[in-house]
Structure 1
């Protein structure tokens, strides 16, 4: 066996390489998703990230904490928290009160230390990298932040387990709607009587996978219990806060009643003022809760979806890759055994038993298979997940956790042995059936048959002699032709799939905001907003072009036992104008209710079906789906004004503006948002640019993986082509020696083989285009999230790279083949075995 390995080092190494590449990408990519999750899970467990957070507009007192502690296993803490404007750039900042006794949401210090004195602040690490702040500098908040002091000394920079995405800090209703930083000052510096954020942590869930179904179901159950405890608490809390003020107003009411007889007009005016004061007080002090789990924290859902996408890719891409590797290995081992026919026949003639003859080939196959599989498993498991983690710069640096994926490794080893040992077993059993005399003679060459092209006389007659020989040989060796096409097509398809995944994820945002949405900003108005005042501000802005008014609300939809939350409900004031901002594939005026495609899929509804819609203020209506429109990001229901009036019993109130804007810089976007917010008429402004940036980040996060796929696919394709060409030469060594003896020049001999490779490469590339599209479509379907559909998109660049790589590999193999054919031992090859 050792002599065989030494004699055919190239083939032995080729088998090891092909198996190693297949196992490497199979195990490595399969390990990447779990490693991403495990690394984040370790970080959030070490830093005691809260499982549930509740925000209150009026804060939480001791009664609220007691209610929260009724949830079994809950560790409860109240934190002072608010969104404020701060820093030299006047950016929206999530400000937290730091307490030494806090046990949840510990910061990850990157530089400096935690606040020790009342004038110290710890800033987001992003403040250093993005805005250039340094230790020892001051950070000043706006007066509206309502702190005991406005300026603080920077003593540290940190990351937080609540903000794992380096490029996103969430949204707010101040400034341009985007939170840019988080910051921590001593809690007594926040001018708040009680905490405004309630954190709940469950020790029993600490070791669970944050993105696992078991964890999510458990948290959802805890949240239901928590909401039940707080069922009547909002009204009670509002009453507690407003009671002293209402008592004062009631005493003023009584005084008015006393002077009513003396001066009715003055009393009436005072009564109007008192009623207005009561209304404003109740509105300002109304308690509302915002409930959130880890999935609602900035970056968490995107991280989980990114991990899911890698898992979806891992269920298809590496399997396809590995199957190609196994198929080519099977062919190589088969050829190796067939070449040893004479040797097997000799052993058989000398009286050796079947096991004694075959075991060396089995050992050879097992050795190559195991070496390749073990190398691939170790390299894949230990390198690919770490490369992915290291290149995930979008997220904060995590504690790396890369565990051995034993089941995946075992599956890979089994398939590797099936491809190597399995091939040896099948072929040797077939060979050993023949008698020694038949085995010791060379196998009869395959007879050439008339091919289809020969029947097309005008085409066949115009081909040169060498071309005719090449086409006949292609169909003469059908298995080799098939293997070469599969190898080339597989490599092309894998490279295309790599580019396709990235292109398609990026295309979801591009197509949403070019084919469907044709606006650049959404302005959310206050309940009693003065629209003319808002329009005046907009018209003074140089980037403003025009706008349209709509009613926008959020609702949940139910149908056929399915439910979709956070659905945007848009009702335009004018359908004809609205069509310039949102391009529906149907006329809203005629269809009345239009549902977007992904929402319809989740609800399992089609045109004509009924859906139940419940708004955030608990209004319930039943609607009939008039049409289903294309959409790539989010869930939307579009209602005509007539339908809204009919179903809700009132005219749709204008509460949102969709804006057409010229190209804006980041400063211009922020400036417009600040002006609108400071007018007192606007709750906040959101830009489509920010959504596109998020989708772009989603696409960019996969670049490292795609690069790895493309490189490994390219290497596999090259090894496959090189290996099959070597098999081709060894199979036809007598034939090649014959034509050399007959006087063919070296270039002609090379082209005798290479012409077939060129034809098969072209066929393989064409087939690869089709397979690549099918494979990409399947993976995208598996990777789609509840919120996003990824349209199949492969750029011309992907096709170009895949095609060029295959052409380059073919050219390199031609060059190597040319050198090899120059040194053929013609006499040795043509010697008769007899």
Structure 2
């Protein structure tokens, strides 16, 4: 290859810089989206793995129904070569001074496991200092560094503390709770924890440990969530159970021995009385009854149950992994869809370039250049565009998309910022696709042209012959069409490849825009449907038992009160192999007929009301999908302190937030073999003003036995604040799809004009005005755009449904409907891009050199 020929190649790039730039930008967009979205899931997983490693998150935990003692830690001490462990004490408290349920945990002297991550301030150093969960600051903005924090609960719980007033010296995040808001369940108050409190050792009076956290050393360098991790974890859990299995009997014997010592004085008293008193003496009989009762109590002491859990039992830990998997599932379709459209347009552009340079190829052949030298121009041209587009696309995509999406999810999780990583397998795939679209296309087209002799190449290809359209056989319609409209239709069907490419390109971009707007609809509808259409109550009042007359009077005494429904409300868990354990709210209304006034139970598609059945449970649609159950099937439901019960599914209803299981009093008695204790009220208020609502809650909490008041307005703001960030992800889809649509329309229109420059010059010579020449092309583009929009609606529907299935979390169901306006917005944007492109083309057509275009090459 001579220096002059190389200069010619770069001169060609410069003279056709618009085409070169469009190829580069299309490859850039496709590669950026593909590599960026594909890297997001692995980047988020790696960020979590690094965080768990740095904070030394425990791999397993052990609890006991009677607490854990030094005898249990002594057993674990014997296996120090395999594990490290940390025993902790905590107490769940229902705060009556701020309407919160908190877990107060003693910080160990040395945090060997589950190390707290300091957000601000410092860790406590004195007995009167405390650090709070970062989420506490969001729930109560008054909690700041230096503020006084008081623990105020029932007398029984207050007595469990050596001190109850502290100074706030820091805010922290715990690696155990990676979700920003959820802190797990408890048997105190409303059944869920609001936030965590960490105090110095020896603040609690409890003699036994609440939990022992364990970290197996063989999992230190194993990637969390991997198959290897799960396999080793099963072995580790089995070993832990084997080590601690004898402890239950030993603890039982120890407790019985302690109780027997306490009974010994009574036994001696009975023996002494038998020697001094007649056999039928009242005092002797009383002592004998007391002894018999005490001995029965000793005999009734059962062996404690040891409860074992691992990371997979932590909802936040599992939920985060499921979200990364959803992103990875999303990355298997959406980016490929995106890059396929880019590849399609590159293929068309490169094909047109080869056809445009036939004359140059013939000249070079006539001058003696070989096929390799002639073909190298196209390979350099396409390869340079592919390489530059890929490099720029990877640099932008890998650094932008993962950070952007992770930041959107960041409001849901307490994890540090991600570190981007280059997945070379995906980068090489993107490069291969880019090169295939440019070099591959050029080689396929050149294969035919390079076999031709110079004489054939120096003559332009004959225009494609016109064919009779089937529309022409519809004589009534065809006669009514104007000359321009007939020409437009003939040109459309004359170039079928161009028609197909344009329609598919526009349809793909339209589908992605519909998907983006549809996701926004699906996310936005959750709040409206759940809180306005399905739930019709403003507060949940939780008590420690059945409602008393005083509690009833206190509830009705407030001016804000309108109506209420008494019900049993408890947190239950449902677990099935292969599905992360789900927490459900089990509700049993005292008056089932009144439930529709507070909760709408309906079928999602038909909106048909579903009455609460006497037998069987009503569950939400998302729960039914997760566990793959239908009406008539059974769910394994477990309430705290009770064995697993098998509950039959009586109906499946519409619901979008969290999981609910509704039972009639009869169905509850049948399933759980006990009478329901109506420990809660769904309350309707006359006003949902936040200030008035807080006064209402403060008033009720002064009443004995009322544990918690949850305001739905607060719940709505808390739960859906994080969903707003999802709009950022949606924005990426819309902007990316819009940019691609603009490039697709520009490229295809530019090719259309270039292919038909002689035709357009001819009609200009015949006297067509500039506007008429532009309309000559625009009519075709408009028809193709409309066809693409129509096809894109169907593709968008399918793509939106697929993404919803992969992007939903376990506790959330997106609304599957796309608003009509979303179709309108997508169509209008596509039409706007088409008009913008035609405005650019109009300027180009005005400057056409007709003499040069019509010059004969003979």
**Normalised by the size of structure 2, how large is the TM-score?**
0.84
Mapped partners of 2:680, 2:732: distance in 1: 44
Mapped partners of 2:809, 2:557: distance in 1: 41
Structure 1 residue 99 corresponds to structure 2 residue 113: no
Structure 1 residue 504 corresponds to structure 2 residue 522: yes
Query: Secondary structure of 2:460's match?
Result: coil
Structure 1 residue 720 corresponds to structure 2 residue 744: yes
Question: Which residue of the partner structure matches residue 190 of structure 1?
Answer: 204
Structure 1 residue 327 corresponds to structure 2 residue 344: yes
From 351, 359, 372, give the equivalent of 2:376. 359
Question: Which residue of the partner structure matches residue 825 of structure 1?
Answer: 849
Mapped partners of 1:658, 1:323: distance in 2: 55
- Which shows bigger deviation, 563-572 or 138-147? 563-572
- 1:482-497 equivalent positions in 2, closer than 5 A: 482-497=500-515
Question: Which residue of the partner structure matches residue 214 of structure 2?
Answer: 200
Question: Which residue of the partner structure matches residue 156 of structure 1?
Answer: 170
Structure 1 residue 813 corresponds to structure 2 residue 821: no
Structure 1 residue 43 corresponds to structure 2 residue 51: yes
From 11, 18, 24, give the equivalent of 2:26. 18
Question: Which residue of the partner structure matches residue 121 of structure 1?
Answer: 130
Question: Which residue of the partner structure matches residue 764 of structure 1?
Answer: 788
TM-aligned CA deviation for residue 265 of structure 1? 13
Unaligned runs of 5+ in 1: none
Structure 1 residue 373 corresponds to structure 2 residue 390: yes
Question: Which residue of the partner structure matches residue 138 of structure 1?
Answer: 148
TM-aligned CA deviation for residue 464 of structure 1? 3.9
- Which shows bigger deviation, 146-155 or 824-833? 146-155
- 1:783-822 equivalent positions in 2, closer than 5 A: 783-796=807-820, 798-822=822-846
Mapped partners of 2:725, 2:763: distance in 1: 55
Mapped partners of 1:27, 1:661: distance in 2: 51
Mapped partners of 1:241, 1:142: distance in 2: 32
Structure 1 residue 386 corresponds to structure 2 residue 403: yes
Question: Which residue of the partner structure matches residue 4 of structure 2?
Answer: none
TM-aligned CA deviation for residue 640 of structure 1? 6.0
From 165, 182, 186, give the equivalent of 2:179. 165
1:163–1:617 Cα change, 3 Å: closer
1:739–1:253 Cα change, 3 Å: farther
From 439, 446, 470, give the equivalent of 1:428. 446
- 1:573-588 equivalent positions in 2, closer than 5 A: 575-578=592-595, 581=599, 583=601, 585=603
- 1:178-327 equivalent positions in 2, closer than 5 A: 179-227=193-241, 229-230=243-244, 233=247, 237=251, 240=254, 244=258, 248=262, 251=265, 261-263=280-282, 267=286, 291-297=308-314, 299-327=316-344
1:90–1:601 Cα change, 3 Å: closer
1:85–1:274 Cα change, 3 Å: farther
Question: Which residue of the partner structure matches residue 661 of structure 1?
Answer: 684
1:398–1:117 Cα change, 3 Å: same
Deviations 1:533-574 (A, max 9, x none): 654554445345221435867465779x99976566666666
Deviations 1:390-410 (A, max 9, x none): 444413351532111111111
Query: Secondary structure of 1:189's match?
Result: coil
Mapped partners of 1:674, 1:426: distance in 2: 78
Deviations 1:632-657 (A, max 9, x none): 55666666666666676x46534554
Question: Which residue of the partner structure matches residue 745 of structure 1?
Answer: 769
Mapped partners of 1:405, 1:5: distance in 2: 31
From 64, 69, 72, give the equivalent of 1:64. 72
Mapped partners of 2:485, 2:703: distance in 1: 80
Question: Which residue of the partner structure matches residue 729 of structure 1?
Answer: 753
TM-aligned CA deviation for residue 339 of structure 1? 1.0
Query: Secondary structure of 1:725's match?
Result: helix
TM-aligned CA deviation for residue 690 of structure 1? 7.1
Mapped partners of 1:291, 1:665: distance in 2: 44
Structure 1 residue 755 corresponds to structure 2 residue 779: yes
1:456–1:660 Cα change, 3 Å: farther
Structure 1 residue 445 corresponds to structure 2 residue 463: yes
Deviations 1:235-280 (A, max 9, x none): 7657756865675467568869969955589959x97999799989
- Which shows bigger deviation, 618-627 or 305-314? 618-627
Structure 1 residue 9 corresponds to structure 2 residue 17: yes
For the aligned residue pairs, the C-alpha RMSD in angstroms reads 4.2
1:828–1:752 Cα change, 3 Å: same
Query: Secondary structure of 1:93's match?
Result: strand
CA contact (8 A) 1:83 1:92 kept: yes
CA contact (8 A) 2:601 2:653 kept: no
Unaligned runs of 5+ in 2: 1-8, 604-609
Query: Secondary structure of 1:469's match?
Result: helix
Mapped partners of 1:539, 1:356: distance in 2: 92
Mapped partners of 2:541, 2:307: distance in 1: 21
- Which shows bigger deviation, 509-518 or 349-358? 509-518
TM-aligned CA deviation for residue 368 of structure 1? 1.4
Mapped partners of 2:529, 2:240: distance in 1: 41
- Which shows bigger deviation, 778-787 or 425-434? 778-787
CA contact (8 A) 1:485 1:763 kept: yes
TM-aligned CA deviation for residue 105 of structure 1? 2.0
- Which shows bigger deviation, 756-765 or 156-165? 156-165
CA contact (8 A) 1:253 1:271 kept: no
Mapped partners of 1:784, 1:210: distance in 2: 22
TM-aligned CA deviation for residue 123 of structure 1? 3.2
TM-aligned CA deviation for residue 752 of structure 1? 1.7
Query: Secondary structure of 1:188's match?
Result: coil
Between Structure 1 and Structure 2, how many residues are aligned?
A: 829
CA contact (8 A) 2:547 2:679 kept: no
Query: Secondary structure of 2:196's match?
Result: strand
Query: Secondary structure of 2:210's match?
Result: strand
TM-aligned CA deviation for residue 333 of structure 1? 0.5
Structure 1 residue 707 corresponds to structure 2 residue 731: yes
- 1:475-624 equivalent positions in 2, closer than 5 A: 475-505=493-523, 507=525, 511=529, 529=546, 535-541=552-558, 542-543=560-561, 545-549=563-567, 554=572, 556=574, 575-578=592-595, 581=599, 583=601, 585=603, 589=613, 592=616, 597=621
TM-aligned CA deviation for residue 436 of structure 1? 3.2
Mapped partners of 2:286, 2:431: distance in 1: 91
- Which shows bigger deviation, 9-18 or 66-75? 66-75
CA contact (8 A) 2:631 2:649 kept: yes
- Which shows bigger deviation, 784-793 or 425-434? 784-793
1:685–1:264 Cα change, 3 Å: farther
